[in-house]
Amino acid sequence: MEAQSKQGLHNKYQNNDKNTHNADFTENTHKKQRIFFWKRSDSLPWLLALACMDLISLTMLWLADVEAFGVLSLANGLCSLLLFTVILIYSQKKGRQKEAAFLHFLESPDPLREGEALRLAGRPEAGMVQKTGRLLREAAAKNQQLSMDLDEYEEYVEAWAHEVKTPISLLTFLMDNHRQELPPSVARKLDYVQCQMQESVSQMLYYARLKSVHKDYLLEPLCLEECCQNALGDYKPLLEENRFCLSLDLPGVTVLSDQRGVEFLLRQMISNSIKYCRDSGIRKLRLWAPPPSAPDGQILLHIADNGIGVQPCDLPFLFEKGFTGGPDSNRKKATGMGLYLAKAVADDLNIALDVQSAWGEGFEITLRFPQIETAT
């Protein structure tokens, strides 16, 4: 039932997107038809006026001189055709100027371009141009204010994240130098609090970095074993407390990437393995990288555990923002941000993420690093 409801919700979103796309396509088609009709009907009054004048002239010529009617009617038709051609060319040229001025006005609705559009527009269109300019300027002012508010918010979040590192550093100093003086139960709780605070601050900083225009990634040769050891060291107390059996098989594997970004990815995967471990039995966590054998030379890093795993209906949505999975008791405190941020960082670093899992049997994620050819 849960899978069917999620699939139904997913189909509903897809149908809504399709309906919205169809509505936009229909609206754009109607707009094009109205513009075409307007351009075509702009010359229609001149054509009708010339046709009426020609009809009246031909009637008068026929009544005045029947013998010269043929020659005079031909001359009248040629003059009318020439006059209509001149009027049509002038009308089309003016229409193109009006359209170009209006498009420039839409791109930048400043008073100068609005004045140019008003000069070329007729009386019925002048009010529409003025109203459009006023609405566009109001929207631009609101967008600018929202952008300024967002910049201030990001600066505040980054400043807070850096300030909160001070108590985390003090807690780390306390745990490293006075652990023997603390009761084991208190030491375990402080280890848990320290890991949670570091993870939350790290997620907040990376979320702020993802929204920024310029990202300070430093691509350099990295030893995967060293990166994995650094990430595992941050969770060493929790891994020991939960009695994980660790297995690393990374014989001299080197990749070209950003060290902070790669270690952030590894910490998210290790944190999830600890959160969603099995309640009893031997808990395993394995990290290994087989020798490159793919035609494109990609380097694969596998991270696997034997935890509770992920239900099949949840797999397509794992990397969506805010997705916390089904109503399993072990996922009640999930925020749905860890894997979302991991996927965003991986996309920035051109690292592909592949997930394999079976409910109750474990979880495995593969990081596909691109092979970079260096100049010799």
Helix/strand/coil percent split, the chain, to 5: 65, 10, 20
Q: Give the model's pLDDT for residue 361.
A: 87
Residue 346's pLDDT is 92
| Domain locations along the chain | 14-121, 218-376
What does the alpha-carbon distance between residue 287 and residue 303 come to, in Å, rounded to a whole number? 5
Q: What region does 250 belong to: left with phi over 0, alpha with psi -120 to 50, or beta?
A: beta
Q: Which fold has domain 218-376?
A: Heat Shock Protein 90 (3.30.565)
pLDDT exceeds 80 at position 185: no
pLDDT of residue 293: 63
Taking the model in full, what pTM does it have? Answer: 0.58
Question: How many C-beta atoms lie closer than 10 Å to residue 8's C-beta?
Answer: 10
Residue found by looking up tokens 């849960």 in the block: 2
The two structure tokens encoding residue 216? 């300070």
**CB of 255 closer than 8 Å to CB of 299:** yes
253 pLDDT more than 80: yes
Of 20-24, 95-99, 133-137, 230-234, which range is least confident?
20-24
Give DSSP secondary structure letters for 189-229: HHHHHHHHHHHHHHHHHHHHHHHSSS----EEEEEHHHHHH
Which pLDDT value is given to residue 15? 47
Is residue 6 packed enough to be buried (19+ CB in 10 Å), middle (13-18) or exposed (0-12)? middle
| pLDDT for 287 | 94
